[in-house]
Amino acid sequence: MKTFRHSRAGGNPVPYADWVADDNLDSRLRGNDGLGALGWLLLLAAMLISLSVHANEAALNAEDPVIEARLIKMAEDLRCLVCQNESLAGSNAELAQDLRREVRAQMKAGKSDQEVIAYLTDRYGDFVLYRPPFKPVTYLLWLGPLLFLGIGAGIWYLTLKKRRTLKETPVDEKQIAAAAKILDEK
Amino acid sequence: MKRWIPLILFAVLVGFFAKGLFLNPREVPSPFIGKPAPPFTLPVVGAAERTFSPEEMKGKVWLLNVWAPWCVSCRQEHEVLMSLVRERELAIVGLNWKDKKREAEQLLDQQGNPYVAVPDDLSGKTGIDYGVTGTPETYVIDKSGLIQMKHVGPITPEIWEKKFEPKLKELGA
């Protein structure tokens, strides 16, 4: 079975008929025997490496560490307009690099964080902000969770109330007798 | 009635998802609609001594088409623009965005030039001032210099008919 799994990743392909004819069905179904301890360690190491690589992405032109730290802190909450699920800090898109350069230049020129963010929202709209501002169009966005919590609480209350009234209704002896009769018949 | 509530909720949710699925995520609402086109002065491709600035277009309805020679979908759009300017009177300014290899002049010589002017935005800064996220993007600017519409992506004959034609008519082009 090992040969089959290897061959699938490259190397000599095993004809489908041979694979189907293999009687060692159990291991075929299990597919993977699981990673050994060494395997897990290697996987973990690979993940750690990719993490550190990611953290370095935006710090390419770190001539001024203070400004770079400000830039990265700010850019983490800004959206890259090209690859929209990446932050401006993490993206390698050309536009993101240009925008980082622009933000860096403005910070060097002594602009405050608010001024730089205003520069970006003036051009790209609130869409660049991962934390949209609280204003009429975003009321539903920000208050939506509270609204749903309220609806949930309402339903919960009504359900409890209904259960209580059910409990308080006296038991109908006739109905119990009828039910017992049906059960006895079976 | 009560048993239908979950189904109705489900249908509403599916409705929202279906709508979201067919929205274009590139179509970011532009904050410039109804605002003046940001000013700039840039050298013109093919005429180094000349410059272009949006001021020159005052009193005209015009299009600012952001394109680049390295942009593949701009090539498709180029043909559409060519046939548009052949058929009707139309002022299109082609902002040449980040043409680092300096190919625009040659390309326009070979494939034809649909533009009335081609300002050269080598650094890409003017594009950023207009909120450009990629090429091609097209702005419709009215007689008083206000941006009235933005289109993201290449213009096709269908999009022209549906989106641009009515807008231009409305603006009196």
Please state the ipTM of this predicted complex: 0.80
Close Cβ partners of B58 (under 8 Å, ≥ 6 residues apart) = B143, B144, B145
Domain residue ranges in chain A = 2-48, 59-128, 136-185
Per CB-CB distance under 8 Å, the chain A contacts of B71 are: none
Q: Round to whole Å and give the CA distance between A75 and A122.
A: 16
Distance CA B139, CA B63 (A): 6
Question: Among all residues of chain A, which has the CA nearest to that of B28?
Answer: A127
Name the pTM for this structure.
0.70
Contact B141, B116 (CB under 8 A): no
For residue A118, the chain B residues in CB contact (below 8 A) are none
Among the residue ranges A85-89, B16-20, B41-45, the one predicted with the least confidence is: A85-89
Residue A165 has pLDDT above 90, yes or no: no
Q: CA nearest B121: which of B29, B17, B51, B71? A: B51
User: Up-side HSE of residue B9: CA atoms within 13 Å toward CB?
Assistant: 6
What is the rounded average pLDDT of the residues A133-160? 93
Report pLDDT digits (tens) over A4-52: 444 344 444 555 555 555 555 454 444 445 667 788 888 887 777 665 5
Most confident of A98-107, A143-152, A157-166: A143-152
Q: Is pLDDT at B147 greater than 60 in this prediction? A: yes
Nearest by CB to A95, from B25, B130, B133: name it. B133
Chain B residues whose CB is inside 8 A of the A94 CB are: 98
Is residue B81 within 8 Å of residue B114, measured between CB atoms?
yes
Domains of chain B in start order, with CATH, are: 31-171 (3.40.30.10)
Please judge whether A123 and B31 are an interchain contact, meaning their C-beta atoms are less than 8 angstroms apart. yes
Residues recorded for chain A = 186
The CATH label, of 1.10.8.640, 2.40.10.340, 1.20.1600.10, 3.30.450.20, for the domain at A59-128 is 1.10.8.640
pLDDT band at A3 (very low <50, low <70, confident <90, very high): very low
- Using CB atoms, which residue from A98, A121, A125 is nearest to B128? A98
**Closest among B135, B133, B126, B131 to B153, alpha carbons compared:** B135
Judging by DSSP bridges, how do beta strands B92-97 and B120-121 pair with one another? parallel
